[in-house]
Structure 1
Amino acid sequence: MRKYFGTDGIRGKANNGKLNADLAMRVGMAAGLMFQRGEHRHRVLIGKDTRLSGYLIENAMTAGFLSVGLDVFLVGPMPTPAVAMLTRSMRADLGVMISASHNAYEDNGIKLFGPDGYKLSDEIEIAIEELIDSDMSKRLAKSADVGRAKRIEGVHARYIEFAKRTLPRNLEFDGLRVVVDCANGAAYRVAPEALWELGADVIAVGVEPDGLNINKDCGSTSPEMLSRKVREMRADIGIALDGDADRLIIVDEKGHVVDGDQLMAVIAESFKEDGRLSRDGIVATVMSNLGLERYLQSQGLSLARTPVGDRYVLEHMREHGFNVGGEASGHIILSDHTTTGDGFVAALQIMAVVKRSGRPVSEVCRKFEPVAQVMRNVRYRSGKPLEAPAVVKTIDGATQKLNGSGRLVIRPSGTEPVIRVMAEGDDPVLIEQLVDDIAGAVADAAA
């Protein structure tokens, strides 16, 4: 069990909750000590999204890094994938993204990247946790060795150029009217500007952050506003990013939402046609719809499944040589270009398919009919309700009733005391009944 790190870094309520200035400073000290390797002058790059508490955590972490002798590069509000890219580009020993992704402004988080731009392994995070709770006072830098902090300008242009280079040089988006919703988050500057430079007619929303409105009724987790705007402006496509721009949801010209499973299908087919797919398949989590798996099979492609979390998708991709992976929520990893999920780069790939095909988004991005999928969350206080005999018996019975026509995914949440019960299959009535039965058995066992 880990005390601070969850499935995607450290996350919690900012200042008067789990993630306060003291913890942020200690994370900076511990991570700085962990990555002091070699005799060179060590440095860390820190980016953030637009939430108010970012100022607090940024300064606290800066103090922690400086105190153990690391120099700090501050780049301000930038997408998570931009921080990963800049960490490698600027030869930093460590990268930090201060963000709670799609959460409301009250929360914040800390994501750490190694010098290669990849998120840290479980083993390194556990080692950092041990340092956080230890006495680090004897390992502070000498007075002459305290680090320096410097704010870096011009990084937005670096990321824009990086994103544009994921497309063929002769591809432009002239004639495409795009509504881009930046969730009042980290991409509020770079996404609209990059689309404009690529020739699109850009209508930007969610680009007025005030520290409190990040993800509020906008972005990939609330695409209703984007749907209305696409219809109002008669746009060809809508792009919804989340607070740190590592996930993507598309809205077609009719205002209909397209999730990550459909987008992965589009990209997989496009990459296969272009000879860019490194393996005959892609990687997704256990939560991706069975319809995606069946569609890929019809195209001669496989679907490898991992536990929930884009870090586990990426680990499988790296280990087995896949270059396309992601989650239904819109985390899409294209490892030829990025070391983490990049919602904006994924959006550019979708737009490229639309532009080259000359067909509307509603046709391009509707690759398969999703099968019925139902999920319930059952809260519990303690213990292991999934090991209760009655629960095991109910799950076994549900598996027999599905008889190969669907899937069950029953798992504890990685961030809260909740059991997530999901079933999907061809018979919606049966799926609903099975989820009710299993959720009821879990609730009884947890009582």
Structure 2
Amino acid sequence: MISPQCCFKYLFSGILGLSLILIQSSSPAQTVKKEKEFLKNQAASLTSSGHEQLALDRADEALKTWQESTKIYRQLNDREGITESLINQNLAFQALGLHKQACNTLLEALKLNTILDICDPILQQPAIDQKEQLTAVIGKQKPTSVNLLGLQNLGEVLRILGQLNESETVLQETLTLAKLVSSSKISGIYLSLGNIEQSIYQQLQDKSSWIEEPLFREQIANIIPQKAQKSLWYYQTLENIPNISKSAKLQAHLNHLTLLISWEKWLSNQPNQANLHQKVNQQIRVLVNQIDDNSSAFLELSPEPSIHARLNFANNLSQIPDEQLKSIAIRYSKLALKMAETINSIRWLSYSFGTLGKLSTQTEQKQAYFKKALGFAQSIRASDIAYQWQQQLGLIYQKQGKTELAIQNYNAALANMTQVRDSLLSSNGDLQLSF
């Protein structure tokens, strides 16, 4: 049986061959012009197809499609097309969990692959030298739309890889470039900067939970509020940008809420922070109402980001001790599930059922949700999702006195967690420790 990929390849070759035959009767100059137009249209078509494939959870196919478009742009010597198609390849690598490859692809897109070694912590220079070099090379980039997009993606990938200082430097320099041309990318860069500061804040919070030396622990405790405030400043700056889109404002609100809830929990365990704790608690309530009152913003996102946003909101609401908010969380989770069913996304079906499992109060229903969530995760061998539901099922079986089943699920969860920790995050010790 011929695979769909082979059919596509043969069809593309046939169309290309036929088109070349048809234009051979033209003059040499016209022939070259028509051939270039055809190839450019074909590359644009492949680019669109890749985005459609990625939206349907077919990242491996999207990667191959964008690799084909890159070849055509190289043939045309179209520098901007090459850069854009390499940035697209990075999106596919990220969706496949191959973040180091995504990082290196972005360096190639921005022509930095022969200058920088920031995708592998083992090859890194001292922090001061690295920051100076990053500042210098990024400052030389032209502030074009495609370059700014590539740099913002580079900052995001470095954050995922745990290269937090490098990510912060890249994003701050990118913001400086974007301001030179009043780029529309500024709001997205502010969001990325807020996220990186939140990641640094979270890493510090993780360290403070296991460090026993009192002086060092006190030093970290003093830095944590600074990083929280800096992240909040970026989110609030983004939210106050005139004429910002509803979807961009929603993403800032959701990340803002995640940070406030985490910070409120940390403050509740800190002496002499009662006033700040109360202030943050009030901010949480105001922000929750703003997000729910403007729920139409979820509809402005494409399907997968919309599902992610709804589940993000639901999970945040579940951490606030309020039964009315829990019912709102269930409503958002069910809307996410319906959308995941519509686009038939296995990963998001798993996340949706798992979130409903965490929100359910009835043991039988909770167990049924987690089993469905686990079944979807295992069907695509998603160990990064499966361990969460195996852990939850282990807890349920333990409470039911079904010790053998509980141990089986705990062991499976540990095996999957170890696999994620070793394979995905092997290059970064701090990220491993946090995980």
The TM-score with structure 2 as length reference comes to: 0.31
Q: Which has the larger radius of gyration?
A: 2
Using CA pairs under 8 Å that are at least 6 residues apart, name the structure with larger relative contact order, 1 or 2. 1
Greater fraction helix: 2
The TM-score with structure 1 as length reference comes to: 0.30
Greater fraction strand: 1
